[in-house]
Structure 1
Amino acid sequence: MKRAICLIPIMLWASGAAAQDAASEATRAAQAELAQRLPLDDPRDEANVLRGKIAEIPDGVITGKDGRIVWDRRPYDFLNRAKAPDTVNPSLWRQARLNAVHGLFEVVPDKIWQLRGYDLSVMTIIRGKTGWIVVDPLLSEETAAAGWKLFADTVEAKTGVLPIRAVIFSHSHSDHFGGVGGIVTPEQVKKDKIRIIAPHGFSEEATSENVLAGPAMGRRALYMFGAILAPGPTGQVDTGLGPKLSSGTIGYMEPTETVPARGATLTIDGLAFDFMDAGGTEAPAEFVFYIPAYKALHTTEVVTHNLHNVLTLRGAQVRDALRWSKVIDAMLLKWGGSAEVAMGSHHWPTWGAGEVRTLLTNQRDAYRYVHDRTLFLANRGATLHELADQTPEAAVQGSDFSTRGYYGTLNHDMKATYQRYFGWWDGNPANFNPLPPEESAPKYVALAGGPDKLLAAGKDAIAKGEYRWAAEMLNKLVFAAPDNQAARAALASAYDQLGYQAESGAWRNYYLAAAATLRGNAVAGGTSNGQSRSFISAIPTAVFFDSLATRFDAVKGAAQKGVFQFVMPDSKESVAVVVEGGVEFPRYGVTDAAPTATITLDRSTLDDVMLGQAQFPALMQSGAIRIEGDRMAFLSWFAMHPPADPRFNIVVP
């Protein structure tokens, strides 16, 4: 895209001020060009967003039992203005305003309702023959409880109080099951025989996805979701997928039944549900379903009102864009002629049989375009960083906002697809084993003629509106001299403009959070979620010990050797941890004949440690942990597991 040239620098570089920049002339030109190219005044999405609204939580404020605010939409009142400010991509502004509408909505009269705008995700409530069927009870118990209260006060006040007969977890991401404890208790599930229905593989995936790589994923998520940014026209406005993450308590309940890979038709409280497996698309364990009696299709997170991530910026295993497109086509073939409403786990519904078919067709084509264009170009020699720049957006993206890159982008989805097939390397031996950034950066600075010249070149690139090039240069300078405040300020300015121009909420948040980090004015702490005992207890013991092994300091522990046998009487589990040569290997379910030490503790005690409610030394003194054998060898080995720093640097060395 052609950029206008900004002849006047947009801040006083020598001032050292920490304030964010205004939108540059180049950014304003980019915003205007996009606004002119897209039908931003198309009223259909707004009509669908507002359709069926019957109630809302005042000011969109939700607090926990302790009075702590876990959800607050008041700081986002700036979204009330229709016209986008220059500091926000006009297409993202449109999406943010749509996502900002919150309340209880009637989707199918007297049959289906949705609670939207009270978490990143959407909770759906379906009337069965004798009670309610709840789909995806949000991320936090507090937001789910508040949403359920709004439903009860509004709908049940007219229909009478009915029991919850079933809860459906559509897939294995925590923003779709973590709030379950806010609507039902384990005691209710057992007493009332409430069905908890999930896709096959759900239990393992739901409790293990973020355990092994949790610290790094959590740190990057602060940037991706803008949790360390203040809301505002120069800060966090939306994620693209939804408003933001809630900051309540994440819980868990084990499914009472799962839907097999072949799919199934289940009768739930007298209502037929036709399930189709969608595992390996947006989540490893996922399904979509159709309710023939209501002609309603639940597309889960396979079809939403944006192009999704093939590889999320927080980190995850690369998803399969080809399978994604094929699952959508299967939905189109099976239900595209009968569904009169499509609703997902995010965003708003689509009504009308023709509109549903169009939605499915366009979404299918968007993911197929990502996949096929990647391989078309890769098979002709394009590398990971070349193919995205060579690819114009798909034709459908110019007319259908549901396919635009508000969350995932064509750019990084194509790179992810390349990675899925070819890995991280582009085939060029110069890039096979490059120097780490902290080693190469000083050499680049010297090659440029010193820090002053490189800084001047970076500022010149900014003045010309060449923000990607400026960021590439100035990042070298910051990594060579992280205390160079002028370099940090200049790089932050480049990130400001890249963030302002980004159509993806995730890209915007990451750029602007990086700028805030460089300036030292990131919001302290950011959004945090507490994991409940139900969630921690559900983590498989084998996964916990695999995670523990990733914390083993192989350098300091290279001389360690032994077998440490763990016995957990309450769960009747055993794990033998073999340590030798700087490697720690847990053997789940194994009892070693001659261990170096045997450690006996209940799994519930291990949960206390994971929740931060107990420490190993105190538990050893109290007798809650018993050690037989070489006690000093165990203590020496245990000391080789330093905790990860959850605030490690990302944008500076």
Structure 2
Amino acid sequence: MRRLTALLLAGSLPFTAAAQDAASEATRTAQAEIAKRLPLDDPRDEANATRGKLAEIADGVIIGKDGKPVWDRRPYAFLGDKKAPDTVNPSLWRQARLNAVHGLFEVVPGKIWQLRGYDISVMTIIRGKTGWIVVDPLLSEEAAAAGWKLFADTVEAKSGTLPVKAVIFSHSHSDHFGGVGGIVTPEQVKKDNIRIIAPHGFSEEATSENVLAGGAMGRRALYMFGSILPPGPAGQVDTGLGPKLSSGTIGYMEPTETVAATGGTLTIDGLAFEFLDAGGTEAPSEFVFYIPAYKALHTTEVVTHNLHNILTLRGAQVRDALHWSKVIDAMLLKWGGKAEVAMASHHWPTWGTGEVGALLTNQRDAYRYVHDRTLFLANRGATLHELADQTPEAPVQAGDFSTRGYYGTLNHDMKATYQRYFGWWDGNPANFNPLPPQQSAAKYVALAGGADKLLAAGKAAIAAGEYRWAAELLNKLVFAEPDNKAARAALASAYDQLGYQAESGAWRNYYLAAAASLRGTALDNLSGNGQSRSFVSAIPTGVFFDALATRFDAAKGAALKGTFQFVLPDSKEAVSVVVGGGVEFPRYGVTDAAPTATITIDRKTLDDVMLGQAQFPALLQSGAIRIDGDRMAFLSWFALHPPADPRFNVVVP
């Protein structure tokens, strides 16, 4: 029932093998080749990433109310070295060093500032006629509050204290609204008529994302963001999109107004903002905007300094690369030649009308290349894995670092686009209903002549620098024999080299986290982001019960029939849950004339349950829940919703 975030408890596996490998000769050669063909010494990004810096938080450390750090850049001091170590792709190293620059930056003198390097995302502060307009207040309240204090101590100390007049949520991902409580309180919003402005559809998308599939997404996110890796040249260095996720409290505030799909101009604290809808690109609810008075374009997360994900490694609904490219082109047509600076929800700004135009053009072309090359090859018979492997990088990627695959990759983006059009199946009937991995693995081992021979073949592939092939072979052996320490160690070695070579921060993190899990060295007992009551209370009641239905044990409850009616007096809502044939179907807003049981419970009490602050048995004893009808039937039904273990295996059966 509870929304699981990206940082859930990580389960270490009990096998500890050899220490992490050094970079192999094949990896060193690969690193040298990419360093040779890319202009890594191009100084323009570094100049932009450091331009206008006014101040920084000492050591990049933000401490939460519990005395524990929610953000700490001290372990990343190794990024001070300009030369990349052999264990990091030199292009990713360049990106990581740029993302590591932290502080308060002046973007438009006296008008626009950004706080960068204190979360995976960026917070922007704009000077209105009488106060401040805050855009995207980071992921966590603690990080946002610390950033705001730095701004107040640096800028307001000179110009005078002004009120917050508006907060803009650029899109529906929590790293762009979760910290709002660190900037303003609900009481302030109401008392001072502070405007909370978001794109249409924001409330539903922001509070529903990951609720239904949060368990699996959260577990995979641990690998994608490297949260179970220690920082270091052989560990987590960056995500590509930003340094990492802060670990504070995720909050929420309901928008006071939304911008329609048609876009348009809003005057916010005396300042005109021109909005363009971008929903269905990086997020289902998103917009970009232009401020004519400052000639400043905010590209949100539609245009950043990397190729983005069409489908993230943690899992999500597949995005539309074609629509994405068209939205960027609309920005180019509308504001190209006007905007003198482009800034985004991640990374650093780009200054200069010509440079902004080039940024938009190149980003547009990168996403169009992803889309059109996928369909070009698919329509000639190439399948999901074939088309991605035979496609060279887009020509624009050789010269423009903003289009490189630091987060998303051409490989995965093309596979995602194929999936969007054709689904997961490649059309070959042999792949329509294959054996499950653990069953087929045992047969592959037998076919190879036994575990020893398959292990030897995997090690030979590693020695030859054929790490993808080695991973494929050794993964079969590990799935057939999960307790085979030699197989696990060899597979971890292959993952090490694949991670070292990866230009994508997400790919690197996933490979190296997988290796750490195989060795039993993955970090454990991570305290993730905690949702505030404001966030949990905003989750629609219907979504809550849909998520509850995903936990119904259909095998054990196949014979159960009944209707369980929930009445929530404080929110004036009702939900009837119809159970039968191993299916649980919630009907929001529907009451039943003859339910098996009626459960009267406040929505606030349900929030307590979602927050882990209350359990149903204790609530029954205390009288916080009233049950009319067949009480035992309700208890039997409720017992059929066991929680999932968030630490399920990923790289072993």
TM-score when normalising by structure 2: 0.97
Kept in 1: contact 2:16–2:519 (CA 8 A):
no
CA distance in 2, matches of 1:79, 1:182: 29
Q: Which residue matches 1:115? A: 115
- Report the CA distance between 1:54 and its aligned residue: 0.3
CA distance in 1, matches of 2:278, 2:54: 32
Counterpart mapping for 1:489-508 below 5 A: 489-508=489-508
CA distance in 2, matches of 1:592, 1:179: 41
- For the residue of structure 2 that corresponds to 1:300, the secondary structure is coil
- For the residue of structure 1 that corresponds to 2:71, the secondary structure is strand
Q: Which residue matches 2:10? A: none
Q: Which residue matches 1:361? A: 361
Q: Which residue matches 1:141? A: 141
CA distance in 2, matches of 1:337, 1:108: 17
Q: Which residue matches 2:266? A: 266
Kept in 1: contact 2:212–2:546 (CA 8 A):
yes
CA distance in 2, matches of 1:542, 1:61: 39
Distance 1:309 1:378, change over 3 A: same
- Report the CA distance between 1:527 and its aligned residue: 5.6
Q: Which residue matches 2:426? A: 426
Code of the residue aligned with 2:80 in structure 1: it is N
Distance 1:270 1:226, change over 3 A: same
CA distance in 2, matches of 1:591, 1:556: 26
Counterpart mapping for 1:235-384 below 5 A: 235-384=235-384
Code of the residue aligned with 2:487 in structure 1: it is A
CA distance in 1, matches of 2:98, 2:281: 25
Q: Which residue matches 1:512? A: 512
CA distance in 1, matches of 2:277, 2:545: 31
- For the residue of structure 2 that corresponds to 1:388, the secondary structure is helix
Q: Which residue matches 1:547? A: 547
CA distance in 2, matches of 1:555, 1:16: 36
- Number of residues of Structure 1 aligned to a counterpart in Structure 2: 639
**Cα deviation digits, residues 89-117 of structure 1 (max 9, x gap):** 00000000000000000000000000000
Counterpart mapping for 1:600-639 below 5 A: 600-639=600-639
Which protein, 1 or 2, shows the higher relative CO under an 8 Å CA cutoff with sep ≥ 6? 2
- Report the CA distance between 1:289 and its aligned residue: 0.1
CA distance in 1, matches of 2:637, 2:585: 13
- For the residue of structure 1 that corresponds to 2:233, the secondary structure is coil
Kept in 1: contact 2:16–2:521 (CA 8 A):
no
CA distance in 2, matches of 1:443, 1:530: 44
Code of the residue aligned with 2:101 in structure 1: it is V
CA distance in 1, matches of 2:468, 2:153: 51
- Report the CA distance between 1:17 and its aligned residue: 4.1
- For the residue of structure 2 that corresponds to 1:216, the secondary structure is helix
TM-score when normalising by structure 1: 0.97
Q: Which residue matches 2:647? A: 647
Kept in 2: contact 1:245–1:527 (CA 8 A):
no
Code of the residue aligned with 2:28 in structure 1: it is R
Counterpart mapping for 1:229-240 below 5 A: 229-240=229-240
Q: Which residue matches 1:486? A: 486
CA distance in 2, matches of 1:551, 1:610: 14
**Cα deviation digits, residues 135-191 of structure 1 (max 9, x gap):** 000000000000000000000000100000000000000000000000100000000
Would you identify which runs of 4 or more consecutive aligned residues in structure 1 move more than 2 Å? 15-18
Q: Which residue matches 1:438? A: 438
Kept in 2: contact 1:227–1:527 (CA 8 A):
no
- For the residue of structure 1 that corresponds to 2:299, the secondary structure is strand
**Cα deviation digits, residues 348-377 of structure 1 (max 9, x gap):** 000000000000000000000000000000
**Cα deviation digits, residues 521-575 of structure 1 (max 9, x gap):** 0011346100010000000000000000000000000001000000000000000
Code of the residue aligned with 1:491 in structure 2: it is L
CA distance in 1, matches of 2:253, 2:551: 28
Counterpart mapping for 1:567-578 below 5 A: 567-578=567-578
Q: Which residue matches 2:3? A: none
Q: Which residue matches 1:524? A: 524
CA distance in 2, matches of 1:297, 1:486: 54
Q: Which residue matches 2:77? A: 77
CA distance in 1, matches of 2:264, 2:253: 22
Q: Which residue matches 2:12? A: none
Asked whether 1:51 is paired with 2:51, we answer yes
Kept in 2: contact 1:171–1:198 (CA 8 A):
yes
CA distance in 2, matches of 1:475, 1:527: 30
Kept in 2: contact 1:115–1:122 (CA 8 A):
yes
Kept in 1: contact 2:536–2:611 (CA 8 A):
yes
Kept in 2: contact 1:321–1:368 (CA 8 A):
yes
CA distance in 1, matches of 2:644, 2:279: 31
Q: Which residue matches 2:67? A: 67
CA distance in 1, matches of 2:72, 2:527: 12
> Equivalent pairs: percent with the same residue?
88
Distance 1:70 1:16, change over 3 A: closer
- Report the CA distance between 1:238 and its aligned residue: 0.0
CA distance in 1, matches of 2:264, 2:617: 50
- Report the CA distance between 1:644 and its aligned residue: 0.8
Code of the residue aligned with 2:134 in structure 1: it is V
Code of the residue aligned with 1:322 in structure 2: it is L
- Report the CA distance between 1:18 and its aligned residue: 2.7
**Cα deviation digits, residues 428-482 of structure 1 (max 9, x gap):** 0000000000111000000000000000000000000000000000000000000
**Cα deviation digits, residues 29-80 of structure 1 (max 9, x gap):** 0000000000000000000000000000000000112211100000000000
Kept in 2: contact 1:228–1:527 (CA 8 A):
no
- Report the CA distance between 1:16 and its aligned residue: 7.6
**Cα deviation digits, residues 262-296 of structure 1 (max 9, x gap):** 00200000000000000000000000000000000
